[in-house]
Amino acid sequence: MELDLALPVTDLTRALVDVPSVSGDEAVLAAAVEAALGALGGLEVRRDGDAVLARTTRGLPSRVLLAGHLDTVPIADNLPARFDGPRLYGCGTSDMKAGVAVMLRLAALLGRGTGTPTGVTPRHDVTWIFYDNEEVAAERNGLRRLAAGHRDWLDADLAVLMEPTAGEIEAGCQGTLRAVVTTRGRRAHSARSWLGDNAIHGMGELLTRLAAYRPRSVTLDGCTYREGLSAVRIEGGVAGNVIPDECQVTVNFRFAPDRDVPGAFAHVAEVLDGYELALDDSAAGAPPGLSAPAAAAFVAATGRTPVAKYGWTDVARFAALGIPALNYGPGDPNLAHTRDEYVDVALIEEAERVLGSYLVTGTSV
The residues carrying an active-site annotation are 71, 134
* CA–CA separation, 355 and 122 (whole Å): 12
* CA–CA separation, 250 and 246 (whole Å): 13
Q: Is 360 helix (H, G, I), strand (E, B) or coil?
A: strand
What is the DSSP secondary-structure string of 117-142? -TTEEESSEEEEEEES--SS-GGG-H
* CA–CA separation, 153 and 14 (whole Å): 29
The closest of 125, 150, 140, 112 to 26, measured between CA atoms, is 140
57 by Cβ neighbours in 10 Å (0-12 / 13-18 / 19+) ranks as exposed
Angle, to 10 degrees, between the axis of helix 293-302 and the axis of helix 345-359?
A: 130
* CA–CA separation, 256 and 309 (whole Å): 10
Q: Is 291 helix (H, G, I), strand (E, B) or coil?
A: coil
Torsion 146-148-149-152 (CA) sign: positive
Pairing mode, strands 63-69 and 158-161: parallel
What phi, psi does 219 have (nearest 5°)?
A: -105, 120
Helices and strands counted in the chain (H then E): 9, 21
What phi, psi does 362 have (nearest 5°)?
A: 90, -165
Q: What burial letters (b/e) apply to 153-191, b meaning 16+ CB within 10 Å?
A: bbebbbbbbbbbbbbbbbbbbbbbbbbbbbbebebbeee
The closest of 157, 155, 134 to 145, measured between CA atoms, is 134
Q: Nearest 5°: CA angle at 150, between 149 and 151?
A: 105
